[in-house]
A = this chain, B = another copy of it.
């Protein structure tokens, strides 16, 4: 019998406040009204894109604290990370913030890991309030993972577009708002996909693996959810997930969406297979998803950010691409 991967949180921590921001392309997407700030300057007033990304994380953390009428001194811990080598988006954002940090890396699933660990630690009574914080930046990611920006390289049809976006969610033991009722920790899954321009295909099996574990570990069925929202599988990865899930009797049709598909209008915007990046699922969660729960348009949602655990070095060494997915159940009920 498979080992349980899910923890039912009792008490279930509350999503007390959220803040997000996006860049120019995000401002032209269908979710533009669900952003706290849309910043057309890719430098964010700084000298380099990496400094811009750190400033974006600092900005969403400050904005979320302001919404909750809290200061950094009210926060027990930050759980955060990003895609930059050595996670300098997060560490430099916190250089002047006197709050402890547990630094995380799950590629584009980092927001799922951050929300999970923050929720677990709050539910256990170890922390009163914690922040889940992450980001991505198209210009940083492009030059770090792919090609120098001025080279203007052509993109593959199955490629995804790294969002310039950041999100911060403040979780608390007490308060009103949607609650994180279950977290399911994900395993590293590698089915041998080796094309770094097709990360949706590499991540879809990981999404299925953790979603399968959630439904196995709990009494829920897909029909219990208003939405099942994966992180950045994009168009092709989403199609693969629905097909793989269907073969196992998990019918996600009609209730599945994907952060990478929600963030951009793929008909009008030239984003190929959709959005990606640790900031994509973070910004969609901290804007659209939490808003829809707060307005009670939705009552219960599964949030399943996915990450592709490759590096440029592993690609050059002809390795296949492991994926990971962490799943959270977020509900307006306490369970």
A residues contacting B by CB (< 8 A) are 3, 5, 7, 47-48, 50-51, 73, 76-77, 81, 83-88, 91-92, 94-107, 113, 116-117, 120-121, 123-126, 144, 185-188, 190, 309-314, 317, 319, 322, 324
Tell whether A311 pairs with B124 under 8 Å between CB atoms, given A100-B5, A106-B103, A319-B92: no
B126 x A7 contact (CB < 8 A): yes
* B117–A86 touching, CB < 8 Å: no
Give complex CA distance A92, B320 in Å: 10
Could you say which of B51, B117, B309 contacts A317, with CB atoms under 8 Å apart? B51
Q: A83-B86, A120-B126 are in contact. List 20 more A-B contacts (CB 8 A).
A: A3-B76, A50-B314, A77-B185, A81-B105, A86-B107, A86-B310, A86-B311, A87-B105, A92-B314, A94-B322, A95-B190, A95-B322, A98-B187, A101-B188, A102-B185, A103-B105, A103-B324, A117-B117, A120-B121, A124-B124
| Closest B residue to A311 using CB positions | B86
Whether the Cβ atoms of B87 and A313 lie closer than 8 Å is no
Q: A50 to B125, alpha carbons, bound, how many Å?
A: 39
Given known contacts A51-B317, A73-B3, A313-B84, A113 and B103 CB-to-CB distance under 8 angstroms: yes
Q: A88 touches which one: B5, B123, B311 (CB < 8 A)?
A: B311
Q: Which residues of B contact A313 (CB under 8 A)?
A: 50, 84-85, 88, 144
CA distance A218 to B120 in the complex (A): 24
| Among candidates B5, B7, B95, residue contacting A188 with C-beta atoms closer than 8 Å | B95
CA distance A80 to B50 in the complex (A): 25
Q: What separation, in Å, do the CA atoms of A98 and B190 have in the docked complex?
A: 11
29 A-B pairs in the complex with CB atoms less than 8 angstroms apart: A3-B73, A3-B76, A7-B126, A50-B314, A51-B317, A84-B313, A85-B85, A85-B312, A85-B313, A86-B107, A86-B310, A87-B105, A87-B309, A88-B309, A91-B188, A91-B324, A92-B322, A95-B188, A95-B190, A95-B322, A101-B324, A102-B104, A102-B185, A104-B104, A104-B105, A117-B117, A120-B121, A120-B126, A124-B124
B5 near A186 with CB under 8 A, answer no
Give bound CA distance, A7 to B125, whole Å: 10
> Which residue on chain B has the smallest CB distance to residue A86?
B311
Cα A106 to Cα B100 in complex, Å, equals 12
What residue of chain B has the Cβ atom nearest to residue A93's Cβ? B188
Across-interface contacts of A120 in B (CB, < 8 A): 121, 124, 126
Please measure, in the bound complex, the distance between the C-alpha atom of A87 and the C-alpha atom of B87, giving whole angstroms. Answer: 10
Alpha-carbon gap, A113 to B87, bound state (A): 15
